[in-house]
Amino acid sequence: MPVEKLAQALQSVDWSSNVAEFLTHAPLCERMVQCNTRLAIWSKQLEIVDKGNAALPFIREMQSSGHHVAVLASLALYKPAAAATRTVFETALYYTYFRTHPCELTTLVRDENFFVQKSELIDYHRKHTRDFAAHQGCFNLVGSMNKWYNRVSSIVHGQIPGIWSTHRSVSEIAPDGKSMEEVVETFREGEEIVHHLLLCTVGVEMWDAFSSAAKKELLAGIPGSKRAALGLDSA
């Protein structure tokens, strides 16, 4: 494709109009803001409490990918938003493991053939994270996690052709209300899973060092019975 045709295709999309249309959907925008705000709170607290940990780039990537979801959804690039949404979850999960496994993290960086399956990381928490079985049961975390991850992965890998694909050519990229709603709701579900994952793993370990303001925000909406089961206070 000549560069001129590429430029013509890209410039034929009214990107500003796509963003403006997204912003008219106030409930969706509010949901997006709430999710990214909570990711930012987690990121800030972990950056402070776990300062110097070599696995913290996973948390930075988690927060950055949340930003990408917002950008891609507003531009009507729905399918790429699925990949960014999955990255939010994956990087959070990697952090919960690699923060205490520096040797494996070094190998991950050095050896491109080294790979750890999601199921291995969950099994690690089942076997080694204090009270993980009881804590995750407060949210049915593992079941929700697997169901959500499999669904998003099927979108990312094109196992269900046409999902979140609303155009055949670049020039046809435009907002689609149904897909927009599905993207934001899927992100909301994924962010909630990440929130529960962090609460059940690094949260219970580092909670005492979190700021009171952060604790209140992170516990908002969680019933007192579950807070008690997790052993998390808001003070």
1 pLDDT band (50/70/90 cuts)? low
Specify the residue for token string 């998003």: 152
Q: Is pLDDT at 157 greater than 70 in this prediction?
A: yes
Is 37 inside any structural domain? yes
Per DSSP (E only), the strands in the chain are none
User: Contact, 86 vs 187, CB < 8 A?
Assistant: no
User: Contact, 179 vs 68, CB < 8 A?
Assistant: no
- How many alpha carbons lie under 13 Å from residue 15 in its C-beta half-sphere? 8
Domain extent, residue 133, equals: 3-230
80 pLDDT band (50/70/90 cuts)? very high
- As to burial, measured by CB atoms within 10 angstroms (0-12 exposed, 13-18 middle, 19+ buried), residue 11 is exposed
Is 235 inside any structural domain? no
pTM: 0.95
| Domain count along the chain | 1
Is 200 inside any structural domain? yes
Let me know how long the chain is: 235
- pLDDT, tens only, 101-120: 999 999 999 998 898 999 99
